[in-house]
Structure 1
Amino acid sequence: MPPRPNRPLPLATPAGIEVLTKILTQGPIPRVEIARRTGLSQAAVTKAVAPLIDAGFVTDQPVAVSPDEHVESQLGIGRPVSPLTVVANSVSVIGLKVTPTDLIGVTTDFTAGIRAVRHRRLPETSADTVAANLVELARELIAEIEASDAGPLVGIGVAVSGDVDAEHGVVRDSPFMGWRDVPLAAALTAKLDVPVVVTNDVRALTVAEHWFGVGVNADSFAVVTIGSGVGCGLYINGEVVSGAHGVSGELGHLPLAPGELVCTCGRRGCVETVASSDAILARARETTGQADLDLAGAIELAHAGNEDAREAFDRAGEVIGSALAAMVNLVGPELVVIAGEGVADYDLYEQRMREAFAAHAFGAAGDCRLMLRSHTFDDWARGAAATVIRSYVRGEPPLQR
């Protein structure tokens, strides 16, 4: 039998899950406001939250309101408000991000606030080597949790690029890692005896934005990541989209680039063949004739006005803008967050990207906001932790109650 969280949540009903989710993502929040936002009665909210307060997951310590503030609460106009807040250190979570060269690990509290960060260099990318290093990194973070005043560990999240079967914890296809059908969750769980959630890295980042970032109050949004690859996570109709077969939002593999360009996935004409940081560097080397140019050098040349280097970024902006328009035309999000390690170069192709987006967005889809949000690899690891928190609250495998 797989391990379970060593501190189960006292949630027995869908109403309890909904109430805790509102407190976690939108708190501090009064009971009356939870009732208004969920459609539940105040009595139902109080019933749902009582065991959470008793168990130390939620607190209702009152917040004083000044006499000249007219705050409507469950206690009346101008009376002290007792908002409900999650006790952040009631539990701990570990999030791990896998790249071809490094592992990034974080510990977080119940609100996905990062408490500690550790990085580990990978000697190579075989699944066995990466799994062994993940176990060692996780054990270091577990020891750090145990040596602190942090709450008990309830689960570990692992974020990997590519096609990931999150339900079974299997990395079906990760071109960057060179993996196919790797049962990563089972390998880690056997060594760590802790529930492990393995998920696509962009989807994990989208969960973090949905629960703890720009998506908290958004009806719909997309997260587009630009770096070594181009990814996309979607939040539509109240849920992060996983796809019927576990694949969705593969913006980087839309066939919008020249057909002679071969992608890391083995197909031709993918957006990534032009718009990824590796593709931009390859094009800059080709156009400038400088075979030893690195990405920092290409950026410097482009900023200095070198037309050959600039062309690589312009071409990337054109394809990214067209891909964004195609995605927005199809699903209609109100906001697109552009993130990832490649956004440091955003200024070099922003104008061309926005022009291409405007040219191809249909009708009111062009009103979708495009927003830059800087992320580091620590944020990717935090996304993996946020995925665990969501599964923990909802009682989803492997964190079912």
Structure 2
Amino acid sequence: MTTSTAPRAGDDRRDANASAVLRTVLDHGPIARSRVAALTGLSASAVSRQAVDLVRLGLLHERPELAAAGTGTLGRPQLPLDLDPDRLAVAGLHIGLPFTTVALLDLRGRVLRRKELPHRGRTGPDLLRPLLARLPRLIDTLRGDRTVVGLGAVTGGSVDPAAGVVVRHDPLRWRDLPLRELLTAATGLPVQVDNHARALTLAEILFGHPAARSSMVQLFVGHVVDAALAVAGTVHLGPPSATGDLGHLPVSGTVTDPDADSRERCHCGRLGCLSVAASDTALFAAAAAEGVTAGPDRAQLIAAVRRGDPTAGRLVRNRARIVGRALALLADVVNPDLVVLTETFALLDPAHLDVVRAEFALRSHLHRDAGLLIAQPRGRDVLAVAAGAPVLGELYARPVHALTAPRAAHRP
């Protein structure tokens, strides 16, 4: 969340132990201290010390009513610990092409409140200036009585989380944008910046499918097409600040004809890139061109699909087939335990995910079980969860440092 104070070796051990206790409570809570010790391998006294710190910091609280009901004893080793549901929250900012999502999340990654701010075609500085001016008051309104301990900010494209810089986001016309510096100045909060696919991957590791902690691939299909990879609970970050660039994966087909080669050139200069073949931009434009919608509009296309418009359904199924092909290529290379797809129509209707799975199974040379491919499970909360995930990841990795470093408990 902030790295202004370099931790000493003793601080590292303290944070590692605190993290082990906090993650165990996240996974198993409410849970007694004695059980935490058994699961973590820490001594009872070490667990007790960490629990005292974590309760004081507002991350954990004791549940004596559960001990009284379950065991008839209030002895502290049996006194259950749980995440504190009321004191702390993290704020999140997802900056997309059509709108920005501002959200407040609890310690389990659950969305408490959120608000969407439409961009109305603004990009570059014209988007950023009003957002920075409005954000402090908006966070203050959302937080209620909770203390906001940090702000996560995620977007598509190439993002350097260590520097807090958006290196490149072509649709938003951003290059080398010091987003963390700008947001810290605007809000006074510690800020974590990352790519939204990596953020969603981290959220899945923390709060989602158990297989995510072994190995997983995340594909985000929106106006920007991004992917992320995690192994053994660690999200991969390669040089220079990218997991990869799946948007330029060569694929066959278009949303109008999945068996035809694309004739539209990508901004990279090549034909057949996934970002051109299957992005929201391509899908919404095709829907408008074929008279399904009055213009390139997400809500209108969703409505057309829901009322059974045959052309709308065909376009969406065509995209699903292209995405399934891309995921088959990716899964054959990486061979992960889990593949997670974040895409509008797979989230809305399992039938669309079935089309992706069928194409995935058909195209995969490893003939993997298509059941390893799931839709992102958070539905309409997906962008809000991605937004808060970088802060929550830091909080669970280094809880003591995160909440005792300068400015880490600021109330906007």
TM-score interval, normalised by the smaller of the two chains: 0.7 to 0.9
Q: Counterpart of 1:88 in 2: which secondary structure? A: coil
Structure 2 unpaired stretches of 5+: 6-10, 253-260, 406-412
**CA deviation after TM superposition for structure 1 residue 196, in Å:** 1.5
**In structure 2, do the counterparts of structure 1 residues 216 and 49 end up closer, same or farther at CA, with 3 Å as the change threshold?**
farther
Kept in 2: contact 1:96–1:158 (CA 8 A) = yes
Counterparts of 1:74 and 1:359 in 2: how far apart (Å)? 58
- Asked if 1:391 is matched to 2:394, the reply is yes
Q: How far has the Cα of 1:254 moved from its partner?
A: 1.2
Instruction: State the AA in 2 paired with 1:103.
Output: T
Identity over aligned pairs, percent: 27
Report Cα offsets for 1:86-133 as digits up to 9, x if no partner: 213332321011122322111223333333222323355343333323
Match among 238, 247, 255 for residue 233 of structure 2 = 238
Aligned to 2:255: none
1:129 to 122, 126, 129: 126
> Do the aligned residues in 2 keep the contact of 1:94 with 1:138 (CA within 8 Å)?
no
- Between the aligned partners of 2:227 and 2:122, the Cα distance in structure 1 is 24
Equivalents in 1 of 2:121, 2:198: separation in Å? 25
Q: Larger RCO: Structure 1 or Structure 2 (Cα < 8 Å, ≥ 6 residues apart)?
A: 2
**Cα distance, 1:244–1:38 mapped onto 2, change above 3 Å:** farther
Aligned mates of 1:314, 1:112 — CA distance in 2: 31
> What residue is the counterpart of 1:341 in the other structure?
344
Q: 2:190 aligns with which of 188, 195, 200?
A: 195
Q: 2:325 matched to 1:329?
A: no
1:129–1:364 distance in 2 versus 1, CA, 3 Å: same
Q: Which residue of 2 aligns with 1:206?
A: 201
How far off is 1:171 after superposition?
0.6
Match of 2:250 in 1: 255
Please tell me whether the aligned partners of residues 302 and 348 of structure 1 are also in contact (alpha carbons under 8 angstroms).
no
Pick the aligned partner of 2:173 from 163, 169, 178: 178
Task: Return the alpha-carbon distance in structure 1 between the equivalents of residues 305 and 396 of structure 2.
Answer: 49
Deviation at 1:137, TM superposition (A): 3.4
Indicate yes or no: 2:100 matched with 1:92.
no
Deviations along 1:229-250, whole A, 9 cap, x unmatched? 3332333212122224221154
Aligned twin of 2:32: 30
Equivalent position to 1:149, from 145, 154, 163: 145
CA pair 382-356 structure 1, distance change in 2 beyond 3 A: closer
Of 339-348 and 191-200, deviating more is 339-348
Are the aligned partners of 2:251 and 2:272 in contact in 1 as well (CA < 8 Å)? yes
Q: CA RMSD in A?
A: 3.8
Distance 1:263 1:279 in 2: 11
2:382 is matched with which residue? 379
Cα separation, partners in 2 of 1:266 and 1:374, compared to 1, 3 Å: farther
**Deviation sequence 1:183-233 (CA, Å, 0-9, x none):** 111122223222122211122222222212335874233332333333323
Secondary structure of 1:234's match?
A: strand
- Cα distance in structure 1, aligned partners of 2:121 and 2:129: 11
| Pairwise CA distance, 1:377 | 5.8
> Which residue number corresponds to residue 320 of structure 1?
323
Instruction: Report what 2:358 is aligned to.
Output: 355
Query: Aligned partners of 1:293 and 1:132: how far apart in 2?
Result: 27
Distance 1:102 1:119 in 2: 6
2:21 counterpart (10, 19, 22): 19
Residues 211-290 of structure 1: pairs in structure 2 closer than 5 A: 211-215=206-210, 218-248=213-243, 250-257=245-252, 258=261, 260-264=263-267, 266-283=269-286, 288=290
Q: What is the match of residue 49 of structure 1? A: 51
Deviation at 1:168, TM superposition (A): 0.7
> Who is 2:257 aligned against?
none
Q: Is the 8 A contact 2:225 2:279 kept in 1?
A: yes
Q: CA deviation at 1:163?
A: 0.5
SS in 2 for 1:89: coil
Q: Which amino acid aligns with 1:136?
A: A
Superposition pairs for residues 113-128 of structure 1, below 5 Å?
A: 113-128=110-125
The answer (yes or no) to whether the contact 1:170–1:182 under 8 Å persists in 2 is yes
User: For this pair of structures, how many residues does the alignment match?
Assistant: 386
Instruction: Determine if contact 1:96/1:106 at 8 Å carries over to the other structure.
Output: yes
**Contact conserved, 2:332 with 2:364, CA < 8 A, in 1?**
yes
Taking a change above 3 Å as real, the CA distance of residues 276 and 189 of structure 1, as seen in their structure-2 partners, is same
* Secondary structure of 2:80's aligned partner: coil
Deviates further, 354-363 or 214-223: 214-223
Listed as ranges, the gaps of 5+ residues in structure 1 are none
Q: TM-score, normalised by structure 1?
A: 0.80
TM-score for both structures, normalised by structure 2:
0.78
The residue type paired with residue 88 of structure 2 is V
Structure 1 segment 153-164 matched on structure 2, within 5 A: 153-164=148-159
Please say if residues 215 and 232 of structure 2, whose CA atoms lie closer than 8 Å, have aligned partners that are also in contact: yes
Post-superposition shift, 1:291? 8.9
SS in 2 for 1:112: coil
Aligned letter for 2:48? T
Which of 100, 104, 107 is the matching residue for 1:103?
A: 100
